Amino acid sequence: MIYSTEGRGRLYDNVLQTIGDTPTIRLNRIAPTGVDIYVKFEAFNPGGSVKDRLALNIVEAAEREGRLLPGQTVVEATSGNTGIGLAMVCAAKGYPLVITMHDGFSVERRQVMRMLGAKVVLTRKEDKAVGMVVKARELAEANGWFLAHQFETKDNADIHESTTAREILGDFDGKPLDQVVLGFGTGGTATGLGRVLKGARPGLKITLSEPENAALVASGTAQARNDDGEPAASHPAFAPHPVQGWTPDFIPLVLQEALDQGYFDGVQPVTGAEGIAMSRRLAAEEGILAGISGGASVAAAVKVAATAPKGSVILAILPDTGERYLSTPLFDGIEAEMDETELALSQSTPGFTY
């Protein structure tokens, strides 16, 4: 292998200019024989996830349109990745940030946001995502803060239409791409990709994935909303699941466009256990340290590949880094101390024995 030593060929004025242009990587050991699976690894964004894109666009679109005033506090509800992205953006631009997040999400997410200068207001996990959304709206209304509205704003899907989708077209320029497989959190990636890829590649299929025990889209049951498009109640098909960042307890308004416009061709369910197992395989067999949502996306892609024609090319989206899951079941059984084999290796030579 020849390694590049020329850098990116430019200097950056701030960290926000490094968002996007994430790599697409071929899987060499996990993909079934006769099918190529690639992954777009969004952990290469500076905040470690795909949500850096929407965080930047929400803030900059609001600045351009006068909806966000200089020095105004930004507030948003998040499972963590959008909050981290917003904390990075707000730190770089000088805005105070308040995040609402229920206490069932990994603690390292709170710590990272606080490290970046945000305040994190916790709600109870029993109140699910709807509870943290309502709390964010209450705080915005009570204090005159700017509510980011990641689940409802047009700025979310717009950034994936203008960047993520174009990057995929560029990566596969002149090359086959038959299927794209991804889950949904806010729905911005699915909607933005659907707008572009369906027109640019008419034969391409997009498969949406969701947890088997929280099959909101597959249920066919409409989401109850208030006049602002926010969830009026939890979706009846929701049940708690371990795929953090995927499938809140409601169908986001941003995703509704993809459902209404037919941007996807099918739904592939996966279990939480399958997502965790595949995340571990990605790390151990491909050297790719992705979160549970990334593992779930690849698990869904492998299921799609099982019935795909020979020679098919499939792309899965990996939303974030596995380091965001240290306190979750993803790292269960992975100890900080030496196991028996490691201790025996330490004691197998005379020097510096532990």
Question: Hey, how many other C-beta atoms are within 10 angstroms of the C-beta on 25?
Answer: 16
Provide the 3-class DSSP secondary structure of residue 35.
Answer: coil
Closest CA to 156 of 124, 190, 121, 181: 190
DSSP string, 286-307: I---B-HHHHHHHHHHHHHHHT
Count of residues in the chain? 354
The catalytically annotated residue of 51, 128, 198, 205 is 51
Known catalytic membership, residue 51: yes
Measure Cα distances from 141 to 66, 134, 259, 293, 307 in Å: 18, 11, 30, 32, 50
Q: Is 135 one of the catalytic residues?
A: no
Separation of alpha carbons 352 and 354, rounded Å? 6
Find the Cα–Cα–Cα–Cα dihedral 238, 243, 246, 250, rounded to 10°: 20
User: Which entry of 106, 293, 297, 312 is annotated as an active-site residue?
Assistant: 293
Q: Which residues pair with 24 in a beta bridge?
A: 40
Q: Decide the pairing of beta strands 74-77 and 146-147.
A: parallel
Query: Active-site positions?
Result: 51, 293
